[in-house]
Amino acid sequence: MNLEGKITPEQAKRIAEHQRNVERSSRRKQISNVNKRFRRTGKNNRGHVRRKDWTDEAYRPEDEHDFDPLERVMPRDEQDRRRMVEEAAFQTPARDDATDETAATPLGRQGLVISAAGLSAQVEMDGEQVDCTVRGLMTELDTGFLNPVAVGDRVLVAEDGSGGWVVETVLPRTTLLSRPDPILAPRQLVIAANVDQLLIVSSWREPDIWLELIDRYLIAAERNGILPVICINKVDLIDDESEYHAALQPYVDLGCHILRTSAVTGVGVDELREGLEGSSTVVVGLSGTGKSSLLSAVQPDLQLRTSEISDFSGQGRHTTTRAQLLKLDGGGYVADTPGIREFGMAGLTLGELPAYFPEIDAVAAACRFSNCMHVTEPGCAVDAAAEEGLIPESRLHSYRLIWDELPV
């Protein structure tokens, strides 16, 4: 059909312009296709060749059941090294067999940490103590603790290729004792690991006995499965025996093992020595209570520093600056720790607290309210029992002080 007579000159001009645009577009596509073929096949224009992507090969489908997100960005040899560490750790026998502490594994030798500070540690292997560095990668593990290695830890140690030793990993801990860092709380600092006994040293005078702190240590020991032993030192300063027995009677009723000692007169030192033999014990208590003096009396060649009580504060000065594990001649180890003025209840809840005060828990069912926390509630059977003398006032005081500190 001839449409020339039916369109205006302006419309004809637009149609012609459109046809020219179509032709130019077609021409550009042809040129582009030629250029693409040339870039793919041209001798000097082979294009950028990507390096081989190893991600798929590093990922093994059979490992999906124990997938660790960090492994996707980790070299394959590092993945294998970590897996060997984990396998060696799970195959490690319990610490009860002292002959296995220095056994060899595919990743190195087992050792016992004698002292630790930051990324350095002193490890005992075959009776010899060696200085080690702690592999920096261990600080990146989210353990909840600020120090990756602590005294009492069983570790795997390997040579670093230049004559030194490196702590590769910490083997599973049977027990541990920790406290909140004073600056980075609630992050924890491990005081000692794999201990059997907690020796709670409190002086009778200079400084005065602090029953609340003893109660806190008892909770820490029970929560971590450690046997507590209460040691009342400086008994040579007792003026009134009836006052002493009244203060300690609540712990006698709880069945606690209580020692009376004096590093000055030697009272109770032999009994303490026998109790330490064959066990791994951590010694805790305020500075100035005589912890180091007692240990020196038990074994003089330990050569621990001691100091006098401050005349200004009436409290001890720190003589032990960091925890250290000391080997006893009669067998066993003892960890002397710096004086701890505050002992946290990390992880303890309000609902769990009464269980660590058996005398309070025993009468709690008689309270008017089933959710009574024995603080200010009316009709509290604990208050009634305390008024009748069935619950020691000091123990109830400790309970309420700790209750005030715990998060709601």
**Domain residues of the chain, as ranges?**
65-172, 196-336, 353-405
pLDDT computed for residue 264 by the predictor:
93
DSSP code at position 230: E
More confident residue, 251 or 51: 251
- Lowest-pLDDT range of 143-157, 176-190, 224-238: 176-190
State mean pLDDT over 340-347: 64
Backbone dihedral angles phi then psi of residue 24, each to the nearest 5 degrees: -65, -40
| pLDDT for res 304 | 60
Please give the backbone phi and psi of residue 243, each rounded to the nearest 5 degrees, phi first.
Answer: -65, -40
Average pLDDT on 113-129 reads 89
196-336 is classed CATH 3.40.50.300 = yes
What is the per-residue pLDDT across 220-239, written as a single tens digit (0 to 9) for each?
Answer: 999 989 999 999 999 999 99
pLDDT value at residue 67:
46
Percentage of the residues of the chain whose pLDDT score is greater than 70: 68
Torsion sign over Cα 243, 249, 250, 251: positive
Return the CATH class of domain 353-405: mainly alpha
- Return the pLDDT at 287: 84
Q: What is the structure's pLDDT at 398?
A: 95
pLDDT > 50? residue 396 = yes
Provide the terminal-to-terminal Cα distance of the chain, rounded to the nearest Å.
Answer: 91
Least confident range from 35-49, 179-193, 278-292: namely 35-49
What is the band of 140 on the pLDDT scale with cuts at 50, 70, 90? low
Q: Which of 323, 49, 342 is nearest to 192 (CA)?
A: 323
Average pLDDT, integer, range 45-59: 48
In this structure, which amino acid lies at residue 212?
E
Mean pLDDT of 317-341: 74
Section 204-213 average pLDDT:
94
Token pair, residue 30, equals 């042809």
- How confident is the model at residue 97, as a pLDDT? 44
Which pLDDT does position 96 carry in this prediction?
Answer: 46
If you count them, how many residues does the chain have? 408
pLDDT grade for 344, boundaries at 50, 70 and 90: low
107 — pLDDT class (breaks 50, 70, 90): low
CA atoms within 13 A on the CB side of 221: 21
What are the pLDDT digits (tens) for 83-102?
555 554 444 444 444 444 55
Task: Tell me the C-alpha distance between 283 and 288, whole Å.
Answer: 13
What is the predicted pLDDT for the residue at 177? 86
pLDDT of residue 277: 93
The answer, yes or no, to whether residue 124 has pLDDT greater than 80, is: yes
Range of 51-55, 81-85, 263-267, 298-302 with top mean pLDDT: 263-267
Cβ atoms of residues 145 and 189 within 8 Å? yes
Q: Indicate if the pLDDT at residue 24 is higher than 80.
A: no
Pairing mode of beta strands 120-125, 128-134: antiparallel
Annotate 34-83 with DSSP letters as a single string: HHHHHHHH-TT---PPPPP--HHHH--GGGGGG--GGGGGS-HHHHHHHH
Average pLDDT across the chain, whole number: 78
Q: Which pTM does this prediction carry? A: 0.70
Alpha carbon distance 139, 146 (integer Å): 8
Work out the pLDDT band at 180, boundaries 50, 70, 90.
confident
Q: Which CATH class is domain 65-172?
A: mainly beta
Q: Bigger pLDDT: 179 or 326?
A: 326
Distance of alpha carbon 378 from alpha carbon 384, whole angstroms: 10
pLDDT (tens digit per residue) in 240-296: 999 999 999 999 999 999 999 999 999 999 999 999 999 999 999 888 898 989 999
